[in-house]
Structure 1
Amino acid sequence: MTIDTISDMLTRIRNGNSVGHQVVKVNSTRINYRICRLLKSEGFIRQFETVIKEGKRYIFIYLKYENESKKPIIRGLKRVSKPGLRVYVRKRQIPLVLGGQGLALLSTSQGILTSLQAKKLGIGGELICYIW
C-alpha cells in the first residue's frame, strides 16, 4: 500500500486552516520539505521546521493568518496530479491560477518550482497542485 504524502500534507494544511490551528505536523519527505520551502518563500506559511520525535522525522508547519480578521492566507489548495492519474504540462500549457493571484507547483527536471519560475526557465513538468 502506497501513501500519497503530498495529498496528506495538503489535506492537513487545509484542515488546520479551516479550524484555525497555528501549527500542523506532517511526515517529513524530501518533496514535502521542498514544497514547504516554496510555500515559505512565497509567503503562504510563516515558518516550518524539521523535528525528530520518537525516532520519526516530522515537519511542523506554522500557518499564517491575516492580522485583524484572522482569516487564513491560504484560501485553497487543490491536488492536481495524483498517483492514479499523473498530469504533465509543457511550458506553454502552464496554467494561471486565479488570474495570477495563486500559484501552481510543478515537479520539473530542475526540482520543485512555482509556475512563474517554470515559465521563466521555459520548462514544463508534472503539475503537483494549485494554491491560492
Structure 2
Amino acid sequence: MALSDSIGDFLTRIRNAQLAMQRTTKVLFSKVNSSILEILRDEGYILDYQKEVVDNIPSFIVTLKYHEKSPVISDIVRVSKPGCRCYSKYKNITKAYNGLGIFIISTSKGVMTDYNAHKLKVGGEVLCRVF
C-alpha cells in the first residue's frame, strides 16, 4: 500500500511512540524526513536517529527524548497537507507558541526552521509545527 502523505505518517509515528512512552521508533526513509529529523535533533526535540536497511528497505530508527518521564515534544502537527498546501512568505511566518516552538519550512534553500527562513529571507511550504 502506497502512502499519500509520508510526512504525515512520519509525524504520526513519532507522536504515537511518545504517547506509548517508547524509547525508539521506526520511521520511513526519505530525504525530507532526514532533513526534519536533523532539525529536530539540532533543536533538542529528539536524542538521535540512525539509518537502517533491512531487506533492502531503508528506514530511520529515532531515539526519542523525555524529561522527567514526559515527552519533550508535546505537540507535533502537520500544517501543509496534500489536499491543502500552506505556503508562506518569510514576512508572514509567525512564531510558533510565541517563540517556544518551531515551524519547519521547506524552502528553495532546503528544509529549515522558521527562524532560519526569516534570517535568510526565504519563504516556502510550512511542513509542520513542533512544540
TM-score category of the 2 structures, normalised to the smaller one: over 0.9
Q: Does 1:107 align with 2:106?
A: yes
Q: Which residue of 2 aligns with 1:45?
A: 46
Aligned residues: 130
RMSD: 0.9
Q: Which residue of 2 aligns with 1:120?
A: 119
Amino acid at match of 1:105: I
Residue 34 of structure 1 aligns to a residue whose secondary structure is helix
- Give the superposition deviation at 1:2: 4.6
Q: Which residue of 2 aligns with 1:13?
A: 14
Q: Map Cα deviations across residues 25-58 of structure 1 (whole Å, 9 max, x no partner).
A: 0110010011001100110000000000121000
Q: Which residue of 1 aligns with 2:5?
A: 4
Q: Map Cα deviations across residues 89-110 of structure 1 (whole Å, 9 max, x no partner).
A: 0011112111000000000000
Q: Which residue of 1 aligns with 2:24?
A: 23
Residue 32 of structure 2 aligns to a residue whose secondary structure is helix
Q: Distance in 2 between matches of 1:2 and 1:28?
A: 12
Return structure 1 stretches of 4+ with deviation > 6 angstroms.
Answer: none
- Give the superposition deviation at 1:3: 2.2
Residue 74 of structure 2 aligns to a residue whose secondary structure is coil
Q: Which residue of 2 aligns with 1:84?
A: 83
Q: Distance in 1 between matches of 2:59 and 2:40?
A: 17
Q: Distance in 1 between matches of 2:100 and 2:24?
A: 24
Q: Distance in 2 between matches of 1:88 and 1:114?
A: 14
Q: For structure 1, list consecutive stretches of 5 or more residues without a partner in the other structure.
A: none
Amino acid at match of 1:31: V
Q: Distance in 2 between matches of 1:88 and 1:115?
A: 12
TM-score normalised according to structure 1 size = 0.96
Amino acid at match of 2:117: A
